[in-house]
Amino acid sequence: MRPLPQWSTVAVDPPQQVVTATLRWGGNSADVTADHTVASLNPLVIATSIDAGQRAVLEYHDRASGRLLGVLRLVQMAAISAENTSLTLYHVAAGGHRCLVWPRRSWNAWLQNRLMLKNLATNHLNTDPAAVQKLMIAYLCPRPVVLVSVDAPGRQNIFPMDLIGPLERSGFFSLALRSTNVSVPTMLEQRKVVLSSMPAATKAVVYKLGAHHKEPLTNWDALPFAVRPSRAFGIPAVAAALRVRELAIVHSQEIGLHRFFLCRVVSDEALVEGAQLHHTGGFHQAYRLRQGMPLTEI
């Protein structure tokens, strides 16, 4: 028996509407579909604009049926303040999902964990199987993939990210990037990045650019697609992007193995309508297949 794939690459019209996220605490609740992001993978930390107290629960529901798909149990870690606005960081203490029926749920997790432990040396996530299981629940809301451009004299780069997102109520946009990424020093110095939302059909080229997490880009002309200067910063963005956003970095801090950047959106150009490349959990796609409504796999 083989486990389900951990991740599924899918085409979704942005912003994704298939799954909603609800934060619940002490008799209160709030829709955080566009107000929670991953701040760090190890430990697994979620950021939100809402202060939901010491303990809260994050629920993911299928929007069409209202069915509960998964739950993360959160414990408050710290608050972050930037530009007179505060955010809350929550450690993910526990989690569970209902995408597979018992006993397949436990059996699949056991098979996935066994494979992860076997591949530990090449496991790019650098985190333990229990944290990856919880991360797959956080990916029940399909996460959009963008290419991030950074530019400084002689230190340009473009690489894929999906640990990104708006924190709606605060107006911030966050990015969680491994501290070892070659572009972190450039981002800390320049305090500017450009995000190109990538069409679903560009999967192969996007994955190839994953190499630029480790090696900077030698020359913008070396890319296999056309770029054009972004509106205010003049940083090269993908010419065929669905949407291009320029972000000013206003705060950053290390959380575990990641650097968590808080940004303000300086410009936002919606260029073309179309499906964007997204990631979701493999068990989420298995659930949708069983319901006869799979997301389009790329």
Ligand X SMILES: Cc1cc2nc3c(=O)[nH]c(=O)nc-3n(C[C@H](O)[C@H](O)[C@H](O)COP(=O)(O)O)c2cc1C
For residue 192, list its beta bridge partners.
Answer: 248
Stretch that binds ligand X, among 104-112, 159-167, 187-195, 281-289 (CB under 6 A): 159-167
Residue of the chain from 180, 218, 291, 296 that contacts ligand X (CB under 6 A): 180
Q: What's the closest the beta carbon of residue 162 comes to ligand X, in angstroms?
A: 5
Q: Does 213 bind ligand X (CB under 6 A)?
A: yes
- Total interface residues for ligand X by CB under 6 A: 17
Contact window for ligand X (CB under 6 A) among 77-85, 133-141, 208-216, 217-225: 208-216
Residue 147 touches ligand X, criterion: CB under 6 A: no
Helix %, strand %, coil % of the chain (to 5): 20, 45, 35
162 lies in the binding site for ligand X (CB under 6 A): yes
DSSP assignment string, 81-125 = EETTEEEEEEEEEEEEE-SS-TTHHHHHHHHHHHHHHHTGGG-TT
The tokens of 297 are what? Answer: 């796999």
In sign, the C-alpha dihedral spanning 118, 145, 200, 98 is: positive
Q: How near is the Cβ of 207 to ligand X at its closest, in Å?
A: 5
Our CB check for ligand X shows the closer of 25 and 280 to be 280
Cβ proximity to ligand X: between 44 and 56 the closer is 44
Residue 177 within binding range of ligand X, rule CB under 6 A? yes
Q: From residue 78 to residue 117, what is the string marking binding to ligand X with x (rule CB under 6 A)?
A: ----------------------------------------
Q: Does 160 bind ligand X (CB under 6 A)?
A: yes
CB under 8 A, 24+ apart: contacts of 127-135: 127/41, 127/42, 127/44, 127/257, 128/42, 131/41, 131/42, 131/43, 131/44, 131/92, 132/6, 133/95, 133/109, 134/44, 134/72, 134/92, 134/94, 134/95, 135/38, 135/41, 135/44
Contact between 276 and 8 under an 8 Å Cβ cutoff? The reply is: no
Q: Which stretch binds ligand X (CB under 6 A): 106-114, 130-138, 173-181, 246-254?
A: 173-181
Cis upstream peptide for 229 (omega within 30°): no
Q: Does 161 bind ligand X (CB under 6 A)?
A: yes
Question: Does residue 263 touch ligand X according to CB under 6 A?
Answer: no
Q: Shortest approach of ligand X to residue 196 CB, angstroms?
A: 13
* Comparison of 56 and 245: residue with beta carbon closer to ligand X: 245
User: Could you tell me which residues are beta bridge partners of residue 11?
Assistant: 277, 296
8-state DSSP, 199: B
Min CB(28)–ligand X separation in Å: 30
Closer residue to ligand X, CB minimum distance, 163 or 193: 163
Which of 146, 151, 150, 178 is closest to 164 using CA atoms?
146
Considering only 206, 217, 244, 263, the residue that binds ligand X (CB under 6 A) is 206
- Binding residues (CB under 6 A) for ligand X: these are 124, 126, 145, 160-163, 176-178, 180-181, 206-207, 210, 213-214
